[in-house]
A and B are shown apart, each in its own frame.
Chain A
């Protein structure tokens, strides 16, 4: 009864509106490791997204051993991995660190950000302070509306597919799928999938 009358804390929405991220925007960065500049990967995109959906799924392949009756008596899992799906609209990102570059809050800049070229196989870094499974393991990017500097994270994703959609009567939207293979050791205290 007390819970009903007073409420209870539940994770809500695609982004928490905490002090580090009041506008609910995630900053994302796409790195091309195939083109190194002074030993560093080329940044193809560094901007931000109003994420309408952030979906993380865990998967593994499995093998089963069966007895003479066909019943599974043992199984193992391998190729453990997590898949991140991001869906949202891309913003203009009026920030000096923006890639494509440009200090402006215009439709033209938003169009340029939306049309930034990248491809599957590139790395995806995400700034998502309150969700460590998603937040980038390496230093997350910052953007105009997400200056959060939380560096702890387990995310180390590679893009497997992406869609850019412009449709009549809607804001243009990106959908990105990215995967991270995991080395999971559940034998000790450390069960973090990083």
Chain B
């Protein structure tokens, strides 16, 4: 698996335990139903060079449809999910992403921003951007 796939899989598995809505990865072969959380690998830069360790930037987006076609109480679920993601990305919990046997190791966080809110066609999106040091391996 590539860094992209493995990082997205690890983050999605971790967040799925923390929230009550489906957690999807950025590129998928399934229809998205909202509310949901979408985990996307943005980029990675090796640091230090030749070490195989990467500084990885990921985006975690909570998406909900808040019109008549959306799920009942979608806004409440949305707000609760944003709060749960906020908690899950906290440093005291995020080390829980390191699961034995998943060949993914999170060292520590470098930057985090968000949630940045966007409303388009009655779909509200709330995006967290996180950059962290990680390696493919179980340490």
Contact = CB atoms under 8 A, between A and B. Distances in A.
Given A169-B108, A171-B133, A107 B139 contact: yes
Interface residues of A, number: 14
A88 B110 contact: no
Given A169-B109, A169-B110, A171-B133, A50 B139 contact: no
A91 to B, nearest CB: 8
A106 interface: yes
A7 B136 CA distance: 34
A105 B103 CA distance: 13
A130 to B, nearest CB: 15
Nearest to A108: B139
Nearest to A51: B48
B64 to A, nearest CB: 32
Given A171-B107, A171-B133, A17 B139 contact: no
A52 interface: yes
A24 interface: yes
A50 B110 contact: no
* Most B Cβ at <10 Å: residue of A105, A106, A171: A171
A23 interface: yes
A75 B48 CA distance: 45
A126 interface: no
Most buried by A among B47, B105, B137, B139: B139
9 contacts: A13-B49, A23-B50, A24-B49, A24-B50, A50-B50, A50-B51, A89-B48, A171-B47, A171-B107
> Sorted from nearest, which 9 A-B pairs have the closest CB atoms?
A169-B110, A24-B50, A107-B139, A50-B48, A106-B139, A50-B51, A52-B48, A23-B50, A89-B48
